[in-house]
Structure 1
């Protein structure tokens, strides 16, 4: 397998040098006699040795059926993804297989970047064993454009030694969260919990755990639900962790989870919410590595038990300009079947898209991954609409509302305005 120089900009993207046409054999799979010489895969992120080895294994498995096909891989840094895909759609170098964030499938499908692979997915046995909610998240306007590749969730990180000192277990409810946080602050003289306001994923878990929703689709139209009683109660509770309960300091107002991450690594906060990927950053930022040995993880506490988490991850898609859709989907199957999906999840430090695998000893033997594996059994997804990123990443509607409430805004007025804005954006025409 050839790994070209990692591109810093889309101008350096790899050209797919595929040749020949596509076709299917009598069994419905692509006919090896028509296989192209090359298929190109775009993977988001930076090249790392475990990922390179994974793709080498993928190529070897693919070549068991299509021995004349080389798999070329290009790692695209996440900040360059949008420009790279836009350039590919405009006629530039393009992949056959494209990884996209699972919350981006609807966006790129609406823009015509992805092929409808619904027929192929329906006849693929492994798809029936995937997380069906995650598989559904790969649809747009009734068509299947992506399949889940891997996922990760956020959990509650806490200082295990401090909880032992105050005689507490990891909190499982909102009430316990407040009580444990106050006990930590009294005993250790540091904030017990971090509730950053610029944290949609964390706030959403509080909303979902209380039976609320951010938005729902009714009759083909999206309706914001930020003013529904269950949703509003959860938002006010989250804001109140700073203003009323005062277990989260003003330091985190207007910030995302990166600030408490550094504090957690250096013994300056008792608990906070983040993903498994945060551990590497903690190792880099910890002034005293011994602190890291006392950091443990547990599922996120909800109103009355474990809160649902957004199952962030990636989907595998077939790019719209591929000249070999049948062969591209065969490659997608190798990357995303039970062997390939598990292989990539392990190489990248996430979880596979197959719920049956979560009980595996490999995930249960490590307390941190065991907590995340348990959290993976309670997941939710954001509205599957191309306009979600405009509402969240661009408009910051939900975290912006929390910020206003923390700063003294009237919750009824703030959420009414935010709900109107959310509804308007989600229903904007797709260009």
Structure 2
């Protein structure tokens, strides 16, 4: 097995996220392509950096794959997420290219529209384990009716809170909006620090508030998309979220215009009572905590919603076959092996995520682990952003939703702001794909 790192300069940042294949005949083993025509090597691009647990994972993958294709080596190249866009573009232009690649699950439609991904519909249709994948995540791997990616692993955001502080004031972690305010006010009164963080540059968090109130960001109507930022349900949720940072809110002005990285540092250093982030934040908290013992008192709970737990965006990554692969059949078999129940779970565990199979979320390894139980429960209540290549332009480039929330916090008229934002969102989502 060969491992390599690809270094490429890029100013584009892709969201790390998660979806991927499975095993043939429900066994996680390869075997659907002709061994006699197997290539000497298949190349896999994995986004992120090489880690010992991931290297061990791919050693196992190669060994399993070679039970059927003994003469095929698996070459794994780790691509830093910030370099992913340039690396894929270079591959499309005729440079070094993978056979199987990981892309963020919200990037599948973008790369499919640009011709970087192969149609893997026939492979998925004949793959028994596909029926057990998270079907919403599988649907998210389609573009224009064609399957281009399959979920590999998933991750969600939860509510982080200071468990010791809540015990001291005799309160439970909040499950509703009203309780968020109530608990946050109690924390501020007793501990003299902000009780909750509501950063405005935080589409993932804002979306959960919208979804929990029965609202949507946008919906597809036939062949077009329609923004829903002006619906009563969405407007109420946005105004509530913005109000958390208002003059009488519980979230400090320091988080206005910021993303979740700023409250992360405060959470790690006892300067904040609650905030929303993903499981990957724990590693960053450990790096930033001046007093490491604080981490023992940071716990997590499912996201609070309007009247109960809120849906979370099902982040994660997808596995795809590169459009220019010279060995698509054998690449598809490797994809299914990597993302099957056996190896899909192994990769999720190695990376600190969750498998893309709902039935596996009841594993005691997740449900009995205090650090992962809340996220495992949250994984059962997820939603997705609009499955269109233009979503990334609307969110990452234009920041339409975060910008609207910021303007409302700054005192602009919500009706006017959301009307203009909704028009911009609708127009952007319906722009022709280049």
Alignment of 1:339-378 (within 5 A): 339-378=342-381
Structure 2 residue 290 is matched with structure 1 residue 309 = no
Asked whether 1:401 is paired with 2:404, we answer yes
The farther-off stretch of 303-312 and 364-373 is 364-373
CA deviation after TM superposition for structure 1 residue 168, in Å? 0.4
Greater CA drift, 140-149 or 363-372 = 363-372
Residue 300 of structure 1 corresponds to 303
What is the match of residue 56 of structure 1?
59
- Unmatched runs of 5 consecutive residues or more in structure 1: 12-26
Is residue 207 of structure 1 aligned with residue 210 of structure 2?
yes
Shift of 1:244: 5.0
The question of 1:151 aligning with 2:150 is answered no
Name the count of aligned residue pairs. Answer: 415
* Alignment partner of 1:99 out of 98, 102, 108: 102
CA distance in 2, matches of 1:403, 1:63: 54
Aligned to 1:7: 6
Alignment of 1:28-427 (within 5 A): 29-243=32-246, 245-427=248-430
Give, in whole Å, the separation in 2 of the partners of 1:61 and 1:194. 46
Residue 31 of structure 2 contacts residue 68 of structure 2 at CA under 8 Å; is this kept in 1? no
3-state SS of paired residue (2:45):
strand
Deviations 1:225-245 (A, max 9, x none): 000000010000000011054
Q: Match for residue 23 of structure 1?
A: none
Aligned counterparts of 2:6 and 2:429: Cα–Cα separation in 1: 33
CA distance in 1, matches of 2:9, 2:410: 41
User: What do residues 222-281 of structure 1 show as CA deviations (whole Å, max 9, x unaligned)?
Assistant: 000000000010000000011054100001000000000000000000000000000000
Task: Report the 3-state secondary structure (helix = DSSP H, G, I; strand = E; otherwise coil) of the residue aligned with 2:198.
Answer: coil
- Listed one character per residue, the Cα deviations across residues 280-306 of structure 1 (whole Å, up to 9, x for unaligned) are 000000001111111000000000111
Q: Is the 8 A contact 1:190 1:268 kept in 2?
A: yes
What stretches of structure 2 of length at least 5 have no aligned partner?
11-29
Measured after TM superposition, the shift of residue 10 of structure 1 is: 7.2
- Residue aligned with 2:138, SS: helix
Structure 1 residue 365 displacement after superposition: 1.7
1:18 matched residue in structure 2? none
Of the two structures, which has the highest relative contact order with CA contacts closer than 8 Å and spacing of 6 or more? 2
CA distance in 2: counterparts of 1:413 and 1:154, whole angstroms: 30
- SS in structure 1 of the partner of residue 350 of structure 2: helix
Which runs of at least 4 in structure 1 moved beyond 3 Å after TM superposition? none
CA deviation after TM superposition for structure 1 residue 119, in Å: 1.0
Q: 2-side partners of 1:233 and 1:220: how far apart? A: 28
Residues 298, 368 of structure 1: 8 Å contact kept: no
Contact 2:242 2:409 in 1 (8 A): yes
CA contact (8 A) 2:115 2:323 kept: yes
Instruction: For residue 170 of structure 2, give the secondary structure of its aligned residue in structure 1.
Output: coil
Q: Assess if the C-alpha contact under 8 Å between 1:385 and 1:426 holds in 2.
A: yes
- Which residue number corresponds to residue 16 of structure 1? none
